[in-house]
A and B are shown apart, each in its own frame.
Chain A
Amino acid sequence: MRRNVSSGRLLLAVLGLGLLMPVVGQAQEEQKVSVQVEVVLASKKGSEVEPPELAKMKEQFEKQNFNFTSFKRLSNEKLEVGAKTATEVKLPNGSNASLLLLGMKDGTATVRVAIPRQPTLDVELGRQGAVYQKAGKYVGGELILVLSPPSK
């Protein structure tokens, strides 16, 4: 019977360790947040809106007195942004946008977005809305970096 008791305890200990290992591993991992990053080319050449979801973006820009007629999505990716090293987004005009997690407060992350020759933004991530930042010129239009919550 004594043997049974000790083997049971050993099994429990192993199970406990097995459960704790992922928790410890997660704590050691770098904290990261997911950000949906799109690169859109807005121009006055043509009237193409590709994909059609960008019609909403076009409408919002029109309301702000922009007269772009064409919106084309050049890239769309979900990025994992960490605090140690900046996550780079290659822009078609040759420059890179870099995203860095500045910190997390009360469950809300703040991400720094830096694009060469453009203002550097500190963006507080939220469940709704998007941030549209001009990212430079490209083939007669304007590149726009769109940050939004990751799509499900």
Chain B
Amino acid sequence: MLADDSDHVFEALANRDRRRMLDLVQQSPGMTIAAVGTHFEMSSVGVLKHIRILERSGLLHSEKQGRVRKLYFNAVPIQRIYDRWTDQYSQFWAARMMDMAARLETRAKGVSHA
């Protein structure tokens, strides 16, 4: 996922079946596409279409292991979206903490020089 590809993440998450697929893979890392399909009343082509959308968003990663393709949930795209809107608030507390650390260090130096 390069640049601002969060459009793909929101598109992927905007569908109930795809969210359910993510839940299943998160609960059972390494699940096969066929195993995911058993939880849905849709054709294997339909399941594959949803899996492809989830892969394009970066939320799912597939790996061929032997004769099967295994699926893994990747939380990083969601984390990036979270960070995008929360970092501005954490900056406030980070600045306060850095200020506190600087004051403690100054005080410690004062004690050691006394």
Whether chains A and B associate is: no
Chain A residues with a Cβ under 8 A of chain B:
none
